[in-house]
């Protein structure tokens, strides 16, 4: 594994004005006995912009510190500029998953290695009112991503190229640590349902993916039947879809797939047992995605996911000459109840993925308001369903939706985004003016209100597969 050092691209603010630009220059992460070319800060602060979202560990290189003793500093990270000015508990700011707001001792003549996390901005407050420190450099140490993509967008549309690059950066950062995480700030977890659009992105980019295979194994080993993955019945269904799609994308990974088959066979039998003879679902809970919680479409969406997961499991089991009797039984029961989407675009898209069908009324719902009502999690499925009737419209909606995030300063794509948030809203690399919203602080929903919202979320990268197929 190779590491690389990332220096800041900009000093946003610094209480000291002398030698500040030295912090933007590449240097060896090694303390020196000289105070030349250092920034001296006492009872002040510095705010840095590293130019893009990264996952890594900051290093603060100090020279002399007054009275040769450690001083206290407070470190804060931000995926947006304003987040690194916030305090835990304020507008959703959190230390969940990785510590992002903390106080530590900073020694003299040291290479102080700090907490890893995902962020772009960093604020350091020097808390000792009587003693200051000479700072040689503040830099990030990150893993160098040496994966070579097998798919690169080579079209002439500059906006699509930027969308591809930001989506790739998103899923790359979320899969740099051996498993495929949801987010590099939050959640540093492997979620089986969220994994499906990430898998679409990863095998489109790289074909075989050791990170994806490790995540599939991790989920299977961590959830002994009859438990459901991440406690969601729909997520075990999505997991089967991930395994099947991964295999049929590249059939060279046979031994890995064979490890999953006995679990899939038993899992399908479990679903067959809990689906009633009249086709009603009997799950302990129903989850499609956060925007559908409490909607009229949550059952229809769960049914569509059941058909998707079990149909893909059937194709995989059949490929390896294993019994599909429980697949057929479960699908026969599921198809006794017609899926009708009434209010959620993602459920129309899931119905289309499950059945290949959607009514004219459902298509009108899918395209109503253009990019309004899109979901970063479900973007691939929604755009793909629209493209089945109007590819040019689907591409336009993709550009409107993802382009709006780029216009707001995104270098990676978000956990969620409602295009209405863009109106009268400041970029994430700027402070909101008096008549503007703060994109990170003022928006978000459900469990991702305000600064808890992840601005680098792997599930948003499913758009890469759409770009390959339609652009």
Residues 163 and 47 in one domain: no
Confirm whether 445 is domain-assigned: yes
**What does the DSSP 8-state code read for residue 276?**
-
Residues 85 and 177 in one domain: no
Please report the pLDDT score of residue 49 as a whole number. 98
- Residue 105's DSSP bridge partners are 72
Residues 97 and 31 in one domain: yes
Cα 119 from Cα 186, distance rounded (Å): 11
**What does the DSSP 8-state code read for residue 457?**
B
The residue out of 127, 143, 159 marking a domain boundary is 143
Average pLDDT over residues 435-446: 96
CB 2 within 8 A of CB 146: yes
The residue out of 143, 177, 204 marking a domain boundary is 143
Cα 63 from Cα 459, distance rounded (Å): 43
The pLDDT confidence band at residue 331, using thresholds 50, 70 and 90, is very high
| Closest-CA residue to 338 (of 364, 314, 362) | 362
* Per-residue pLDDT tens digits for 385-427: 999 999 999 999 999 999 999 999 999 999 999 999 999 999 9
Kindly report the backbone phi and psi dihedral angles of residue 392, in degrees, each rounded to the nearest multiple of 5, phi listed first. -60, -40
Please report the pLDDT score of residue 66 as a whole number. 86
SS3 content of the chain, % helix, strand, coil (to 5): 40, 15, 40
Average pLDDT over residues 7-29: 92
Tell me the pTM. Answer: 0.96
Please report the pLDDT score of residue 45 as a whole number. 97
Residues 212 and 82 in one domain: no
Here the tokens at position 248 are 């049929």
Please report the pLDDT score of residue 17 as a whole number. 83
Confirm whether 116 is domain-assigned: yes
Please give the residue range of the domain that contains residue 151: 145-222+369-471
Reading phi first (left if > 0) and then psi (alpha if -120 to 50, else beta), residue 320 is in alpha
Please report the pLDDT score of residue 60 as a whole number. 97
Residues 150 and 117 in one domain: no
Sequence-separated (6 or more) residues with CB below 8 Å from residue 410: 166, 428, 455
How many domains does the chain contain in total? Answer: 2
Evaluate if residue 65 carries a pLDDT over 90.
no
CB 96 within 8 A of CB 452: yes
Confirm whether 362 is domain-assigned: no
Confirm whether 321 is domain-assigned: no
Residues 13 and 130 in one domain: yes
Sequence-separated (6 or more) residues with CB below 8 Å from residue 219: 190, 192, 195, 229, 239
Give start and end residues of each alpha helix (H) in 192-297: 195-206, 210-222, 233-249, 254-274
* Per-residue pLDDT tens digits for 220-245: 999 999 999 999 999 999 999 999 99
Confirm whether 106 is domain-assigned: yes
Residues 9 and 137 in one domain: yes
3-state secondary structure of 105: strand
Residues 24 and 92 in one domain: yes
Please report the pLDDT score of residue 18 as a whole number. 86
Cα-atom radius of gyration of the chain, to the nearest Å? 24
CB 128 within 8 A of CB 41: no
- Residue 295's DSSP bridge partners are none
Cα 244 from Cα 221, distance rounded (Å): 18
Here the tokens at position 215 are 């995540």
Residues 10 and 95 in one domain: yes
* Residue showing tokens 């700011």: 93
CB 4 within 8 A of CB 85: no
Please report the pLDDT score of residue 16 as a whole number. 87
With b for 16 or more beta-carbon neighbours within 10 A and e for fewer, the 221-237 pattern comes to eebeeeebbbebbbbbb
Query: What mean pLDDT is reported for the chain?
Result: 96
Confirm whether 100 is domain-assigned: yes
Residues 100 and 166 in one domain: no
Please report the pLDDT score of residue 68 as a whole number. 82
Residues 64 and 158 in one domain: no
Please report the pLDDT score of residue 234 as a whole number. 97
The pLDDT confidence band at residue 437, using thresholds 50, 70 and 90, is very high
The residue out of 115, 143, 171 marking a domain boundary is 143
Percent of the chain with pLDDT over 70: 100
Confirm whether 448 is domain-assigned: yes
For residues 229, 230, 233 and 236, what is the CA-based torsion angle, rounded to 10 degrees? -30
Percent of the chain with pLDDT over 90: 94
Residues 179 and 123 in one domain: no
| Closest-CA residue to 148 (of 124, 178, 170, 168) | 168
C-alpha distances in Å from residue 32, one per residue of 29, 37, 137, 422? 10, 11, 11, 47
Evaluate if residue 36 carries a pLDDT over 90.
no
Confirm whether 293 is domain-assigned: no
* Per-residue pLDDT tens digits for 109-152: 999 999 999 999 999 999 999 999 999 999 999 999 999 999 99
Evaluate if residue 451 carries a pLDDT over 80.
yes
Evaluate if residue 263 carries a pLDDT over 80.
yes
The pLDDT confidence band at residue 64, using thresholds 50, 70 and 90, is confident
| Closest-CA residue to 135 (of 46, 203, 13) | 46
Here the tokens at position 405 are 């995030």
Evaluate if residue 1 carries a pLDDT over 80.
no
CATH of the domain at 132: 2.60.120.260
């Amino acid at each position: 594994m190779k590491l690389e050092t990332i220096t800041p691209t900009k000093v946003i603010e610094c209480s000291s004005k002398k030698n500040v630009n030295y912090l933007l220059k590449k240097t060896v992460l090694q303390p020196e006995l000289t105070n030349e070319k250092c920034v001296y800060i006492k009872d002040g602060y510095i705010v840095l912009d590293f130019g893009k979202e990264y996952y890594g560990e900051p290093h603060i290189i100090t020279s002399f510190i007054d009275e040769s003793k450690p001083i206290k500093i407070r470190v804060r990270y931000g995926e947006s500029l304003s987040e690194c000015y916030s305090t835990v508990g304020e507008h959703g700011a959190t230390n969940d998953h990785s510590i992002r707001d903390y106080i530590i001792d900073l020694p003299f003549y040291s290479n102080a290695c700090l907490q890893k996390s995902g962020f772009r901005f960093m604020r350091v407050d020097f808390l000792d009112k009587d003693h200051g420190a000479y700072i040689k450099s503040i830099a990030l140490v990150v893993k160098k991503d040496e994966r070579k993509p097998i798919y690169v967008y080579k079209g002439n549309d500059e906006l699509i190229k930027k969308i591809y690059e930001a989506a790739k950066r998103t899923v790359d950062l979320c899969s740099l640590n051996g498993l495929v995480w949801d987010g590099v700030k939050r959640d540093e977890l492997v979620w089986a349902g969220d994994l499906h659009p990430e898998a679409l992105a990863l095998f489109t980019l790289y074909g075989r993916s050791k990170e994806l295979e490790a995540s599939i194994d991790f989920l299977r080993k961590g959830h002994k039947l009859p438990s459901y993955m991440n406690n969601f019945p729909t997520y075990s269904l999505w997991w089967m879809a991930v395994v099947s799609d991964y295999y049929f994308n590249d059939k060279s990974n046979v031994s890995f797939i064979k490890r999953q088959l006995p679990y899939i066979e038993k899992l399908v039998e479990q679903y067959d047992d809990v689906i009633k003879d009249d086709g009603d679902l009997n799950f302990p809970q129903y989850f499609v995605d956060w925007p559908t919680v409490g909607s009229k479409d949550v059952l229809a969406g769960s049914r569509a996911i059941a058909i998707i997961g079990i149909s893909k499991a059937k194709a995989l089991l059949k490929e390896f000459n294993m019994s599909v009797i429980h697949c057929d039984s479960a699908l026969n029961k599921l198809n006794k109840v017609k899926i009708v989407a009434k209010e959620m675009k993602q459920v129309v898209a899931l119905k289309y993925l499950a059945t290949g069908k959607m009514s004219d009324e459902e298509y009108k719902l899918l395209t109503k308001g253009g990019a309004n009502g899109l979901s970063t999690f479900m973007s691939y499925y929604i755009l793909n369903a629209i493209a089945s009737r109007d590819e040019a419209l689907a591409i336009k909606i993709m550009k409107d939706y993802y382009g709006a995030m780029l216009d707001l300063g995104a270098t990676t794509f978000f956990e969620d985004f409602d295009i209405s948030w863009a109106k009268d809203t400041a970029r994430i690399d700027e402070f909101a003016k008096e008549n503007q919203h703060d994109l990170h602080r003022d928006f978000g929903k459900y469990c991702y209100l305000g600064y808890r919202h992840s601005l680098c979320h792997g599930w948003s990268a499913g758009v890469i597969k759409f770009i390959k197929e339609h652009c």
